[in-house]
Chains A and B, each alone.
Chain A
Amino acid sequence: MSILSIRDLKVNYETQDGTVQAVDGVSLDLEEGQHLGLIGESGCGKTTLLKAIVQVLPRNGHIVSGEIKFQGMDLLKLPPAEMRQLRWREIATIPQASMDSLNPVQRVGSQLTKLLRVRGGYRKKAARKRAVDLFDMVGLDTERLMHYPHEFSGGMKQRAVIAMALALEPSLLIADEPVTALDVIVQHQILEVLRELERELNLTVMLITHDISVVAQVCDSVSVMYAGRIVEEAAAEPFFASPAHPYSLGLQQAFPNLARPRDELVSIEGYPPDLREPPSGCRFAERCPFAQDDCHETDPQLEVVGDGRLAACLRSSEMDALRIQAEDPTLWQNVEVARGLSTPHPPAPSSPHESLPFGGGRPTRREGETFVGSTTTDGSPSLSMGSRGHRPAGEGFGEGENMPLLQMNDVSKQFKIGGGLAGLLRGDKEQTVYAVNNISFTLRRGESLGLAGESGCGKSTTGKLLVKLLDASDGSIVFDGDDLARVDDKKLLGFRSRVQLMFQNPFEALNPRFTLYRSLTEPLIIHGWKDESERTQRVVETLDRVNLRPAEVFLDKYPHQLSGGQLQRVVLARALVLHPDFLVADEPVSMLDVSVRAGILNTTRRLARELGLATVYISHDLSLLQYTCDRIAIMYLGEIVEIGPSNEVINNPQHPYTQALIAAVPAPDPTIENPPLRIREGVPRPTEQFIGCPFAQRCPEVMEACLEIRPPVIGDERGHQAQCHLYGEHRDSPKLNREAQLAR
Chain B
Amino acid sequence: MQQEASVRGDQPSKATMEFRQGSAIRQLWETNLEVFQRDKMALFGLFIFAVFAIVAIFAPQIAPNDPLTPLKNNEGDWIKDAMPYWLAEAGEDEAEGYVNNFLLGTTNIGRDIYSQLIHGSRSALLVGFSAAAAVAVIGTVVGLLAGYYGGWVDAILMRAADVAFGIPFIPFIIVISAFLDPSIWNVVVAMAALLWRDTGRVIRSQVLVIKEQAFVSAARVSGASDLRIIFVYIAPSILPLSFLYGSFAIAWAILTEASVSFLGFSDPETISWGFMLQDAFNSLALSREAFYWIVPPGLCIMLTVMAGFFIGRGYEEVLFPRLRRM
Contacts and interface: CB of A to CB of B under 8 A. Distances in A.
Interface in A1-34: 20
Nearest to B223: A496
B217 A555 contact: no
B218 interface: yes
Given A276-B1, A496-B223, A557-B6, A508 B213 contact: yes
B9 interface: yes
Given A510-B215, A556-B16, A561 B2 contact: yes
B6 A561 contact: yes
Contacts of B12: 552-553, 555-556
Nearest to A469: B217
A511 B1 CA distance: 22
B214 A515 contact: no
Contact of A511 (B3, B215, B223): B215
Contacts of A421: 155
Interface in B204-224: 213-215, 217-224
B217 A503 contact: yes
A557 B9 contact: yes
B214 to A, nearest CB: 4
B237 A513 contact: yes
A218 to B, nearest CB: 31
Contacts of A462: none
Nearest to A286: B4
A499 interface: yes
A343 to B, nearest CB: 12
B44 interface: no
B322 interface: no
A235 B213 CA distance: 44
Contacts of B7: 342, 553, 566
A376 to B, nearest CB: 20
A553 B9 contact: yes
Contacts of A20: 1
Contacts of B40: none
A275 B4 CA distance: 12
Interface residues of A, number: 51
Given A508-B213, A518-B20, A553-B9, A563 B3 contact: yes
A274 B5 CA distance: 9
A511 B11 CA distance: 22
Contacts of B5: 274
A563 to B, nearest CB: 4
B38 interface: no
B221 A469 contact: yes
A272 B9 contact: no
A574 interface: yes
A509 B1 contact: no
Contacts of A555: 12, 17, 20
Interface in B161-211: none
B20 A556 contact: yes
A51 interface: no
Contacts of A508: 213-215
Contact of A509 (B3, B6, B218, B232): B218
A517 B1 contact: no
Interface stretch (A119-127, A398-406, A519-527): A519-527
Contacts of A727: none
B27 interface: yes
A292 B149 CA distance: 60
A469 B20 contact: no
Interface in A256-279: 271-276
A126 B219 CA distance: 59
A509 B221 contact: no
A515 B222 contact: no
Contact of A526 (B2, B223, B236): B223
A692 interface: no
Interface in A558-581: 561-563, 566, 571, 574, 578
Given A496-B222, A566-B3, A509 B20 contact: no
A515 B222 CA distance: 17
Contacts of A574: 218, 222
A544 B155 CA distance: 47
A497 interface: yes
B87 to A, nearest CB: 55
A189 interface: no
B262 to A, nearest CB: 41
Interface string A492-518: 110011011101110011111111011
Nearest to B216: A511
Given A515-B20, A574-B218, A523 B223 contact: yes
B204 to A, nearest CB: 15
Contacts of A420: 155
A561 B8 CA distance: 12
B233 interface: yes
Contacts of A561: 2-3, 6
A469 B220 contact: yes
A465 interface: no
A467 interface: yes
B224 A522 contact: yes
B23 interface: yes
B160 to A, nearest CB: 13
A517 B223 contact: no
Contacts of A500: 221-222
Contact of B218 (A503, A515, A556, A578): A503
B228 to A, nearest CB: 7
A562 B3 contact: yes
B299 interface: no
Given A272-B1, A562-B6, A496 B221 contact: yes
A352 interface: no
Interface in B2-57: 2-12, 16-17, 20, 23-24, 27
A660 B101 CA distance: 96
Interface string B87-110: 000000000000000000000000
A43 interface: yes
A522 B17 CA distance: 16
B52 to A, nearest CB: 33
A276 to B, nearest CB: 7
Nearest to A494: B223
Given A276-B1, A557-B9, A511 B155 contact: no
A503 B11 CA distance: 29
B214 A503 contact: yes
Centre residue among A341, A511, A515, A561 by max chain B CB count within 10 A = A511
Given A469-B217, A513-B24, A274 B4 contact: yes
Contact of B223 (A497, A505, A562): A497
A492 B222 CA distance: 10
Contacts of B1: 20, 43, 271-276
A553 B24 CA distance: 20
A212 B180 CA distance: 76
B34 to A, nearest CB: 13
A510 to B, nearest CB: 5
Centre residue among B27, B213, B214, B217 by max chain A CB count within 10 A = B214
Contacts of A492: 223
Nearest to A559: B215
A515 B23 contact: yes
Contact of B233 (A469, A511, A578): A511
Given A271-B1, A509-B214, A553-B11, A578 B6 contact: no
Given A496-B222, A557-B9, 19 more contacts: A43-B1, A271-B4, A342-B7, A497-B223, A505-B214, A508-B214, A513-B236, A514-B23, A514-B24, A515-B20, A522-B219, A522-B224, A522-B232, A553-B9, A553-B10, A557-B6, A563-B2, A566-B7, A578-B222
Instruction: Give the 9 A-B CB pairs with smallest separation, nearest first.
Output: A496-B223, A563-B3, A523-B222, A509-B214, A503-B214, A561-B6, A556-B12, A274-B1, A508-B214
Interface of B: 1-12, 16-17, 20, 23-24, 27, 155, 213-215, 217-224, 228, 232-233, 236-237
11 contacts: A493-B223, A496-B222, A496-B223, A505-B214, A508-B215, A511-B219, A513-B237, A522-B219, A523-B222, A527-B223, A556-B16
